[in-house]
Amino acid sequence: MKRLAVLVLSFLLLVVGSANAESAEGTLMSLYAEGELLMVQGKYMEAATKFEALGTYSDSSQMAMYCKAIAIAETNGMYPVAVAAFTMLGDFKDSAQMVIYYSARSKQQAGAVDLATASDDELSSAIRDNQEAVNLYSSIILFKDSLSRSTACTDMISSISAEQNRRITEADETLYQQARSFMECEDYDAAYSVFLDIKGYKDVDNLLATDDNLKAAAAARYARFTVGKYVTFGSYPQTAAGKDDTPIEWLVLARDGNRALLISRYALDCQRYNRTRSYVTWDMCTLRTWLNSTFLNKAFDAQEQSAILTTRVTPDAHPSFSSNIGNETRDKVFLLSVVEAERYFASETARQCRPTAYAVKQGADDFPYGFGYGGAELSGNCEWWLRQPSDGLYGAPTVCPNGSFRGQVVNMSNFSIRPAIWIDLDSSIFWFE
């Protein structure tokens, strides 16, 4: 009898325990469902609290993070934080799409500007942000309200563009009226300069082409840059001490419409064609890098640099020098080729050049008494680099103190630099000189 009683009691306890377990499971399920209902109602932070209370039940911890991320984004606009949270959730629910969606929302938020007060740079930045948002929304166009938000961003881009065009037109009109005022005061050079900045606006092109006074102003300006004349532009040390900022004198070598080719009248510095003794073409030599960085920034300020054209520098072949001439480059500052030195200088005498005191101090040889190149009349002349390789394995051509050509080893340290540049004569830097 006792054994039977124990068996009955054990059975009853098992039944009660199972009932209690089912009751606990039911409670957890009920709380989980309440969290889901709060999500449906848009109460994400309350839902997160419910899921956190469930501890490790099912995917409650992930649901809690999911809900918090949405709450942070929608309530506080902290889209980058939400993106980070959804990234951590990986492939849980629609987290991957949420990453894209809230990344787009972040860009859309950044692209929301006040058209009346935003600066020109801010407007340009806003267009970029809105375009990035459109691209992101387009990749999930049927997700949430991506379609309507993409449309809103596109509309914002149109509004910003309209404001930019309005500002340009307003600025052009201001300049147009200013130029007209200069014409009334018979200051045609000033009027011409202003009109150049607004070509294509109203009747500006026709005025520049037909008005005799404006044409005369243009001719007078360009006359300064007649081939064979010297002009000043930029500045560079020219004394031995090197502490001066002396205007650079340039010889006008060629004209092409509103463009002029200049070469420095004097050799301005002393540099190796290439730091190491190696076979090197213009496109790879260290002198090209130095000219378009150190020299360019030392000799010209930002406004002056804007007037220097980026030039297509061709690897001109010459029968007396290497046929392996390298690749074409795009440079603001360059050296003449042997072909160009023959084309633009009529004689060896015309090619002769003297270095500045600064260049000599930097190591440029000024060949006292014309040593090795003739009589005393050549004393003080320098040897200056040209840009294509010579016949020698490690060579580049130079113009000798007597104006002839020869090849020299590229890492020689006593030869001079005569930079060459093409400039835009219509640049405002030349307006009122």
* Residues in the chain, pLDDT under 70: 1-24, 317-325, 368-377, 389-393, 431-433
Cα separation, 197 vs 172, whole angstroms: 8
Pair of tokens at residue 17: 């325990």
pLDDT tens digits along 329-359? 999 999 999 999 999 999 999 999 999 999 9
- What is the domain partition of the chain in residue ranges? 26-155, 168-223, 230-430
pLDDT tens digits along 175-219? 999 999 999 999 998 899 899 889 899 999 999 999 999 999 888
Q: What is the CATH number of domain 26-155?
A: 1.25.40
The counts of H helices and E strands in the chain are 16, 11
Alpha helix positions (H), 139-285: 146-184, 188-196, 204-210, 212-223
Strand 395-399 vs strand 420-424: parallel, antiparallel, or unpaired? unpaired
Query: Do residues 296 and 248 make contact, with C-beta atoms less than 8 angstroms apart?
Result: no
Q: What pLDDT score does 374 carry?
A: 58
State the Cα angle at 228 between 337 and 332, rounded to 5°.
Answer: 45
Task: Write out the DSSP string of 72-108.
Answer: HHHHH--HHHHHHHHHHHTTSTTHHHHHHHHHHHHHH
Stated pTM of the model: 0.60
Q: Which of 27, 34, 106, 98 is nearest to 68 (CA)?
A: 98
Q: What pLDDT score does 206 carry?
A: 94
Residue 26 CA, chain-centre distance (Å), reads 63
- Residue 355 DSSP symbol: B
User: Cβ-count burial of 96 within 10 angstroms (0-12 exposed, 13-18 middle, 19+ buried)?
Assistant: middle
Q: What pLDDT score does 19 carry?
A: 44
Query: Do residues 115 and 72 make contact, with C-beta atoms less than 8 angstroms apart?
Result: no
